[in-house]
């Protein structure tokens, strides 16, 4: 008889459950399905040749080859952190390499921040809906979820930190307006709450003017990164490639020092070779790469918005993102995204039902559509099919 493993799992381990989306993606990525479900970049835009060349350059360089395959420090490869300090400075965040930790994807930065700050019962404020990966990362810590909007209100706030995606949020594609960003930072001070800023999509802007990060705003107010209350996570996943799994955290040094220890306990360090390769690629990749991504993804976003306007029946609304990878659709009350998905799959179209992105009080009449993966013709075809289905369901309800 096999062991009763469930009984042996810790309460933390027991609380880990499969993400609805990951389970869903296994079914949805079948050939022949037009999938707006994933949240992934288009691999045809990956700078594959540059990445291959960078691996070769590092491995064929006698001065670097050994070190690239060796254990290294948990903080991360110093030249990559130097490059990131410059990258952050260009965004109005004056910081040094001691304020930067390289992580295995920004997901690890989010996870470790939860581990560092949260005790069972602590409050975490998030947008509603929010990034599913953040709910997964924190669930084991048994937080109480509250609304991000509480931070800008008058009522007392009992929360350890607030998680925000100021630019092109997953899943809605929406951005926080400039005045609200300032209000969030002021609210964080007023209510003595730490801000966890997730900038995963910030560089994928297709229209409108760039807005300051919460960290830049707080730094402007406080004068030094050491006096800020923002923990910022960034990633190469959306602008270069996700598969090498490199992200970073920017924070005051006492926070970085502790995160380093937690990371050390978890994976010692992010792959040395990978960090060396990314240091090369980030420095050599021209601005034109990001411009190419923005042009293509921007055109796909436009195509999807136009197709929605053409094919969705009255009563359906959606967000108009200025960047990122997602559009959030709200169906008339009474329709359910999950039920719609079952029928959409029959028509060869997939998306993620919006309910998955709520910690509680789920809005079931919502869906998340990804526009970064499919080419414009496929987007038009998929939205036409989806529009016909929604029109039919709306008439029936």
Ligand X SMILES: Cc1ncc(COP(=O)(O)O)c(C=O)c1O
User: What is the binding site for ligand X (CB under 6 A)?
Assistant: 39, 105-107, 131, 133, 165, 170, 198, 200, 235, 237, 242, 247
| Complex with ligand X: residue 321 or 387, whichever CB lies closer | 321
Beta strands of the chain (E only): which ranges? 34-35, 100-103, 123-126, 144-147, 161-164, 194-198, 230-235, 247-250, 317-318, 326-330, 349-350, 352-353, 366-370
Helix (H, G, I), strand (E, B) or coil at 178: helix
Rounded least distance, CB 369 to ligand X, Å:
14
Helix (H, G, I), strand (E, B) or coil at 252: coil
Rounded least distance, CB 171 to ligand X, Å:
8
Rounded least distance, CB 147 to ligand X, Å:
18
* Of 14, 282, 237, 202, the residue nearest 108 (C-alpha): 237
Residues 219 and 253: their CA atoms lie apart, in Å, by 14
| Complex with ligand X: residue 137 or 307, whichever CB lies closer | 137
| Complex with ligand X: residue 131 or 318, whichever CB lies closer | 131
Are the C-beta atoms of residues 160 and 194 closer than 8 Å to each other?
yes
Residues 372 and 83: their CA atoms lie apart, in Å, by 27
Question: Cα 315 to chain center, whole Å?
Answer: 29
| Complex with ligand X: residue 137 or 340, whichever CB lies closer | 137
Phi then psi dihedrals of residue 133, to 5 deg: -60, -25
* Angle between helices 376-396 and 337-346 in degrees, nearest 10: 120
| Complex with ligand X: residue 129 or 212, whichever CB lies closer | 129
| Complex with ligand X: residue 129 or 387, whichever CB lies closer | 129
Rounded least distance, CB 323 to ligand X, Å:
12
State which residue has the least CB distance to ligand X: 105
| Complex with ligand X: residue 148 or 200, whichever CB lies closer | 200
| Complex with ligand X: residue 105 or 114, whichever CB lies closer | 105
Rounded least distance, CB 176 to ligand X, Å:
13
Rounded least distance, CB 181 to ligand X, Å:
17
Rounded least distance, CB 237 to ligand X, Å:
3
Phi then psi dihedrals of residue 192, to 5 deg: 55, 50
Rounded least distance, CB 177 to ligand X, Å:
19
CB atoms closer than 10 angstroms to residue 334: 10
Residues 48 and 289: their CA atoms lie apart, in Å, by 12
């Amino acid at each position: 008889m096999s062991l009763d493993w469930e009984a042996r799992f810790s309460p933390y381990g027991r609380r880990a459950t499969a993400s609805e989306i990951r389970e869903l993606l296994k079914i949805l990525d079948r050939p022949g399905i037009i999938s707006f479900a994933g949240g992934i970049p288009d691999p045809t835009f990956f700078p594959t040749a540059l990445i291959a060349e960078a691996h070769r350059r590092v491995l064929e360089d006698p001065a670097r080859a050994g070190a690239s395959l060796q254990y290294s420090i948990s903080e991360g490869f110093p030249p990559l952190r130097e490059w990131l300090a410059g990258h952050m400075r260009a965004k109005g965040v004056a910081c040094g390499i001691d304020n930067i930790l390289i992580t295995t994807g920004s997901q690890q930065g989010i996870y470790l921040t939860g581990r560092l700050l949260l005790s069972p019962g602590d409050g975490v404020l998030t947008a509603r809906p929010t990034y599913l990966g953040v709910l997964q990362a924190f669930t084991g810590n048994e937080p109480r979820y509250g609304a991000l909007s509480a931070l800008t209100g008058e009522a007392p706030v009992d929360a350890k930190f607030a998680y925000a995606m100021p630019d092109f949020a997953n899943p809605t594609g929406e951005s926080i307006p400039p005045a609200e960003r300032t209000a969030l930072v002021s609210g964080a001070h007023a209510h003595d709450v730490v801000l966890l800023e997730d900038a995963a999509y910030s560089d994928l802007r297709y229209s409108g003017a760039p807005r300051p990060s919460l960290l830049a705003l707080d730094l402007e107010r406080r004068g030094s990164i050491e006096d800020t209350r923002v923990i910022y996570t960034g990633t190469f996943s959306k602008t270069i490639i996700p598969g090498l799994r490199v992200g970073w955290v920017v924070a005051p040094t006492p926070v970085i020092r502790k995160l380093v220890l937690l990371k050390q306990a978890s994976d010692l360090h992010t792959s040395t070779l990978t960090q060396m390769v990314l240091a090369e690629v980030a420095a050599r990749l021209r601005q034109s790469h990001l411009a190419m991504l923005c042009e293509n993804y921007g055109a796909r976003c436009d195509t999807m918005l136009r197709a929605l306007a053409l094919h969705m029946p009255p009563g359906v609304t959606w967000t108009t993102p200025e960047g990122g990878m997602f559009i959030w659709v709200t169906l008339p009350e009474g329709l359910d995204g999950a039920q719609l998905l079952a029928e959409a799959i029959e028509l060869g179209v997939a998306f993620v039902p919006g309910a998955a992105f709520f910690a509680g009080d789920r809005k079931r009449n919502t869906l998340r559509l990804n526009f970064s993966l499919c080419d414009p013709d496929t987007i038009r075809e998929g939205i036409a099919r989806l529009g016909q289905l929604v029109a039919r369901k709306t008439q029936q309800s």
